Amino acid sequence: MTDIKAAFKNGKAFIPFVTAGDPDLDTTEKLLIEMSKSGADIIEIGIPFSDPIAEGVVIQEADLRALASGTTTDKIFDMVKQIRPQIECALAVMTYINPIFVYGTDKFMKKCSECGISGVIVPDAPFEEKDELKDYCDKYGIELISLIAPTSHNRIKMIAKEAQGFVYCVSSMGVTGVRKEITTDVGEMVRLVKSVSDTPCAIGFGISTPEQAKKMAQSADGVIVGSAIVKIVAKYGKDCIEPVCKYVKQMKEAIK
């Protein structure tokens, strides 16, 4: 069992997301360590990119702040490698095809492996083109996390059959961001995955409150929260550690 799948073995998994380098890498370093202590089961580390097409305005602005602070992919890898022994939970990176290709796919996956990063999430990599990444992921023992959306329909089973780590179930149409209400039948999405695979399912996009998290966790094996956490970082800047960790604890408690 990989450490990503292991994150789901003791109940529902809480998966927070942070943009690396927002407001700076020193703060991200502290956040990763403290979120792990606060109950995170897997942490998604966003690699800032100038054209993050799956992201709403909250994470777009975080990416710009991170890039403005001098954050680079190499600096992120160096930081993660240094603090990895202090982090108990699994780590995954969320990025896009372009930064991986520019960095060099082989080099990128090798660096992930060397840093103790177990999975990669690439929203703009279609299932039909996953071999562009998967061979390199397999070479270095990195799991390529598959995404399914409300519009995936008859493709859900096809994607789920080859899924690794966990299936990222996108709860809502459009880009990331806090939503007042999630109307997608996520239970049906999960049911279709489970009909062909035992890979855990985690719901993301739009979840921000403990009540939403609790409701989503009734259908899925885990809950992913990004924009709500990034908003806390934007509000408090370098002083965000305590409020973010308080939020992580609340969300983890809500999905038990």
How far apart are the C-alpha atoms of 20 and 28, rounded to whole Å? 6
pLDDT tens, 8-41?
998 999 999 999 999 999 999 999 999 999 999 9
Using alpha carbons, select from 57, 28, 8 the residue that is nearest to residue 202: 8
What confidence score (pLDDT) does residue 52 get? 74
Per CATH, the homologous superfamily of domain 3-254 is Aldolase class I (3.20.20.70)
Which residues lie closer than 8 Å to 81 by C-beta, 6 or more apart?
Answer: 114, 115, 116
> Which amino acid is present at 89?
C
What confidence score (pLDDT) does residue 182 get? 53
User: Is residue 176 a contact partner of residue 55, using CB atoms and an 8 Å limit?
Assistant: yes
- Name the strand (E) or helix (H) holding 134: helix 131-140
Highest mean pLDDT among 124-133, 151-160, 187-196, 236-245: 236-245
How far apart are the C-alpha atoms of 254 and 256, rounded to whole Å? 6
pLDDT tens, 104-153?
999 999 999 999 999 999 999 988 889 999 999 999 999 999 999 877 77
How far apart are the C-alpha atoms of 76 and 81, rounded to whole Å? 9
**Mean pLDDT, range 216-238, rounded to an integer:** 95
